[in-house]
Structure 1
């Protein structure tokens, strides 16, 4: 799971994705869960294929009474527990109460990232690794987006999540995250985010759900420039 990444500046996003006008909303570069960050979605205006939106990193379940993602409360409880929704498992997302609406309605997005971090436990302790593209370009990560309305204030929240998939067989991504000693190497369920390539951007935003499913794939190892984060 990815829980922190570096977001490009608006001019870097404009240069890489040719989105036209910039958004007046600002964001911090070092992104963490529930921070507001930029994502690109299909524009409603016919003249533009893409538009830049700023929203919360972390999907808000439809039943939430707050923008903080929470589970459905059990009988006798006033609130559910805090949920981690910055990453969405591609396996079963079409059945997930949190993600199925966005997935089935084609609310797919591209999340710009200069780099992202993952924990490596090969030394017996957590060593953060940073992942950049080997060609120096920013990542365009596959995601979902939606909107949620605060019934108390009427405020509309845009929110988004990164899609992830199993990477147990990947020579690099299988080295990330803390291993479960009870499970064999090929059943750890190590995860990877899903980078999109330039020729896939518009298709990801506009294609059918079936076509989008076929685009979900584990990234090739030669795409990465990765190593421990320097102190």
Structure 2
């Protein structure tokens, strides 16, 4: 599961995804570089108000907010904190948190210059950083929704990053801690789902059945990965009030 990533600069996002900054750039917004759970960051979706297809750059919370949550911090109906920055593709069609966004085609692209994953092969956590081998930014598959605070009327766009089982993958299968309760070939190691440039528009506009075909573990050739040096490590995640 990915719990931190680095976003490209605003101008790079706009240029790479061909987004008209005069029309869709959020006002008075400077994109974060290192993004943690519950951070406000940018994602790309199909512009809802357009008759013809157009991409839209949106600021939202990383961590999907269930419709029953009483605050923007995701919680269960009983008020227990939920982790919703990653959504497992298996079971999301029935998940109370994700099923509506998936069924309604509310898919998004999450721009990332790189993302980090933990590696425990040495017996302790060593963070690895993943960039694209071709130098382009990642376009990671996600879902989005909108939540409205019933007390204030404030509108919160929010999103989650989709993950797929990566058991047996030569690179992504090495990440994360082993579960001693599971056999080696059934660890359910997770991978994000990078989209290729030729598939961006399809992901944002296609049917649910067509979107399922795009949920694939990426080939190892796509990655440029290395252990993160001490100097490269981001600051600790900011504390977000409830």
Normalised-by-shorter TM-score class: over 0.9
State how far apart, in whole Å, the 2-side matches of 1:182 and 1:38 are: 38
SS in structure 1 of the partner of residue 213 of structure 2: helix
The Cα of 1:208 is off from its aligned counterpart by: 0.3
Matching residue of 2:74:
69
In the alignment, does 2:42 pair up with 1:38? yes
The Cα of 1:26 is off from its aligned counterpart by: 2.6
The Cα of 1:47 is off from its aligned counterpart by: 5.1
The Cα of 1:48 is off from its aligned counterpart by: 5.0
State how far apart, in whole Å, the 2-side matches of 1:15 and 1:134 are: 19
Q: Deviations over 1:201-220 (max 9, x none)?
A: 00000000000011100000
For the Cα contact (< 8 Å) 1:62–1:148, is it kept in 2? yes
SS in structure 1 of the partner of residue 134 of structure 2: coil
State how far apart, in whole Å, the 1-side matches of 2:140 and 2:205 are: 15
The Cα of 1:183 is off from its aligned counterpart by: 2.1
Matching residue of 1:98:
97
Unmatched runs of 5 consecutive residues or more in structure 2 = 231-242
In the alignment, does 2:62 pair up with 1:57? yes
The Cα of 1:23 is off from its aligned counterpart by: 2.3
For the Cα contact (< 8 Å) 1:49–1:202, is it kept in 2? no
Pick which of 14-23 and 208-217 moved more: 14-23
Q: Deviations over 1:123-177 (max 9, x none)?
A: 0000000000000000000000000000000000000000001000100001000
What RMSD over aligned residues (CA atoms) do the two structures have, in Å? 0.9
Q: Deviations over 1:10-30 (max 9, x none)?
A: 101011100111322233210
Matching residue of 1:145:
144
Q: Which runs of at least 4 in structure 1 moved beyond 3 Å after TM superposition?
A: none
Superposition pairs of residues 131-142 of structure 1, within 5 angstroms = 131-142=130-141
Calculate the TM-score normalised by the size of structure 1: 0.95
In the alignment, does 2:171 pair up with 1:168? no
Matching residue of 1:4:
4
Unmatched runs of 5 consecutive residues or more in structure 1 = 74-79
For the Cα contact (< 8 Å) 2:131–2:223, is it kept in 1? yes
Superposition pairs of residues 13-28 of structure 1, within 5 angstroms = 13-21=13-21, 22-24=25-27, 25-28=29-32
SS in structure 2 of the partner of residue 181 of structure 1: coil
Calculate the TM-score normalised by the size of structure 2: 0.91
State how far apart, in whole Å, the 2-side matches of 1:230 and 1:137 are: 22
